[in-house]
Structure 1
Amino acid sequence: MNDMIDNLKDKAGELAAEHGDKIDEAVDKVAELADKATGGKHSDKIDVVADKVKDAAGKLDDNA
């Protein structure tokens, strides 16, 4: 079981390294849509979450 989890983590890291720019673009697009859907009322919170998601994806990339 642990080997399977390690393999999945490795694969996620490889994909993050290969497609990091696409991940960032997708996060930005989702954040923009969420901001529009909330009428800009939660822009600060949405930006913080988007940055955290990008950081998490970057950490996957670093572990690849």
Structure 2
Amino acid sequence: MGFLDKAKDLLAQNADTVGSAIDKAGEFVDSKTDGKFKDTVNQVQEAAKNALKDGTKDEQ
């Protein structure tokens, strides 16, 4: 089992936690920038969540 396989396993096992961390990171950036980059942060959050879904759907 290679490194990427191990990472995918960990993501699949902890998808909810990772999704929550993505949300918290976005909130942190918004708070530090006074929401100046809110649209960009939201786009990045959605892209990260989609990548998480795509990476874990093979495991289900």
TM-score, normalisation: structure 1: 0.81
Looking at both structures, which has the greater relative contact order when contacts are Cα pairs under 8 Å and sequence separation is at least 6? 1
What residue number does 1:3 align with? none
What residue number does 1:27 align with? 22
- Higher-Rg structure is 1
Given candidates 34, 56, 59, the residue that maps to 2:51 is: 56
Q: Displacement, 1:49?
A: 0.3
The count of residues paired between Structure 1 and Structure 2 equals 59
Quick one: which amino acid aligns to residue 14 of structure 1? D
What residue number does 1:16 align with? 11
- Percent identity at matched positions? 31
TM-score, normalisation: structure 2: 0.85
Q: Which 5+ residue runs of structure 2 have no aligned equivalent? A: none
Please list the CA deviations of residues 21-61 of structure 1 after superposition, one character each: whole Å capped at 9, or x if unmatched.
00000000000000011101111110000111111122221
Structure 1 segments (4+ residues) deviating >4 Å: none
